Structure 1
Amino acid sequence: MNNLGLLLNEWRTALNNESTVTGNTRLLLSAAFFYNSDYFTLLYPIQAIRNSLDWINVMAYDFYDPRSYAWRLVNADDNGFFAPTSGAAITSGGALGYDQIRAFIAQNNAVQVYNTTVVSNYCYVGTTWIGYDDTQSIEAKVSYAKQNALLGYFAWHVGADDNSVLSQTGQWK
């Protein structure tokens, strides 16, 4: 992590120099970091990050392993967020794209739930549970960012989007 701090400092210096030499607007330096400054006992160089970066995205997801969308519920009647599970469902890793989730819902007549506290969606049928963001949760998150004058928002894995439905929801205008 010490080398990361040195790298960020060198990048900042290089960007500042490039701008001075060319007269162009200084380029922005950004990075995405794990949500905790103690990354598996490796401490981030916080001061170098603070001094060097213009924009930081916090990777605030996947707090529970395995990192997947689809889970096998222990009890079909206990199906809310944080319900006990016994492992991945549908695929070996449990990960599904939005198109696969929509198809699963349609094919299985799955119950869909939007949770206003968590600001996310999930669906379930029997012991299969899938957590995901839908247009409703994305619209709420983008609205929150706009109402609080945040400078933007971060979306992860647009490649799993279904025909850009999620990517076009609540666009920053």
Structure 2
Amino acid sequence: MRETFDEETLKEGQSRLLLTIATAPGKDNIDTSYNMTEISKYVDFFNVMAYDYAGTWSTIAAYGSPLYSRLSNPQFSQANSQNWTMNYYIAQGAPKEKLVMGIRGAGASFTLKDPSVHDVGAPLIVGGGKKGSVRKLQGHLAYYEICSDIIAKDATTVWDDEQKSNYAFLDDQWVGYDDPRSVVEKVNFAGNLGLGGVMFWAFDYDDFTGTVCDNGSYPLLTAMKNAALKYTPEEPSTSTVEVTVAPTPSVITQRPSINDGTFKLYEVNDHGVVHSFSSLITLLCLCMILCLIH
């Protein structure tokens, strides 16, 4: 496919097509699915789906897409965080500039066994939280559903500084989620780590009407865009996980990188189409996504 794409550039009037891949988190998924150094020779970038670390299968309350691992609680796997995932990709040989970290606009919701025990790590009834009022999915709430079904009904909301995430609880319902504050944390993290950019899954998870969460239309995407535009490099976070793996060979390829040195924001819609905005907020490209979900 890469060779076929490259052949098209030899035809008059044809621009270079991008070949991208959507990849999973989780050490087992990564180890059994991806030869990073070989894949890197052919793809322009990896869309790393750095979410779904918790879900309807979970037995304790946890975030679906935490930025950092919960080192304070031994019940939690260190590998269940975006920080660990992105560092593991790099350690396995994926070029930083080809890595795009996924941020999800939906939260993992749960039903507490005991409503009086509602901290992160609280025991759950396996199966997820109640169905959302709009999308009717159990254990999976879009951001606007979190605002309307949980927060607007006088839920207690908590900012978790250890994992840079939010959670809210109302009676026996518990949901971990991203808001504009946590999204900005993630954009800055990706920039400090030297990644190629961030992506968002998906437009219809955000408060697209701007009538539910009281933050204007598309508050999560807007926060991502503004953070990317304002991003300035800082010293790498001292909490970055050091991942020890076997040495991997250097990637040798003559194919040019599409990264021009600017930090980018990507949005993947439900049809697998990527929209990318550079720091000039211009439409960069429409990309083909090959979804390899192990």
Pick the TM interval, shorter chain. Answer: 0.7 to 0.9
Q: Deviation at 1:46?
A: 4.3
The answer for the alignment partner of 1:60 in structure 2 is 50
The answer for the alignment partner of 2:168 in structure 1 is 123
The correspondence for 2:18, drawn from 22, 28, 32, is: 28
Q: For residues 37 and 47 of structure 1, do their structure 2 counterparts lie closer, same or farther at Cα, with a shift above 3 Å needed?
A: farther
Instruction: Work out whether 1:70 is the aligned partner of 2:124.
Output: no
Letter in 1 for 2:128: A
The answer for the alignment partner of 2:187 in structure 1 is 142
Identity %: 29
May I ask how many residue pairs the two structures share in their alignment? 163
Q: Deviation at 1:38?
A: 4.6
Gaps of 5+ in 1: 1-10
Letter in 2 for 1:61: Y
**Structure number with larger C-alpha Rg:** 1
The answer for the alignment partner of 2:129 in structure 1 is 89
| Contact 1:110-1:124 at 8 Å conserved across structures | yes
| Contact 2:112-2:172 at 8 Å conserved across structures | yes
Q: For residues 47 and 144 of structure 1, do their structure 2 counterparts lie closer, same or farther at Cα, with a shift above 3 Å needed?
A: closer
CA RMSD for the aligned pairs?
A: 2.6
| Contact 1:112-1:121 at 8 Å conserved across structures | yes
Superposed CA offset, 1:48-91 (max 9, x none):
42221110022121123327622111222332333221032221
The correspondence for 1:100, drawn from 130, 139, 145, is: 145
Distance (Å, rounded) in 2 between the aligned partners of 1:35 and 1:12: 24
Distance (Å, rounded) in 2 between the aligned partners of 1:58 and 1:80: 29
Normalised to the residue count of structure 1, the TM-score between the two structures is: 0.79
Q: Deviation at 1:168?
A: 0.9
Distance (Å, rounded) in 1 between the aligned partners of 2:193 and 2:24: 23
Q: For 2:201, what is the secondary structure of its paired residue?
A: coil
The answer for the alignment partner of 2:203 in structure 1 is 158
Letter in 1 for 2:159: Y
Instruction: Work out whether 1:109 is the aligned partner of 2:99.
Output: no
Q: Deviation at 1:145?
A: 2.3
Letter in 1 for 2:168: C
| Contact 2:160-2:166 at 8 Å conserved across structures | yes
Distance (Å, rounded) in 2 between the aligned partners of 1:74 and 1:34: 30
More displaced 10-residue stretch of structure 1: 147-156 or 113-122: 147-156
| Contact 1:33-1:59 at 8 Å conserved across structures | yes
Distance (Å, rounded) in 1 between the aligned partners of 2:187 and 2:52: 20
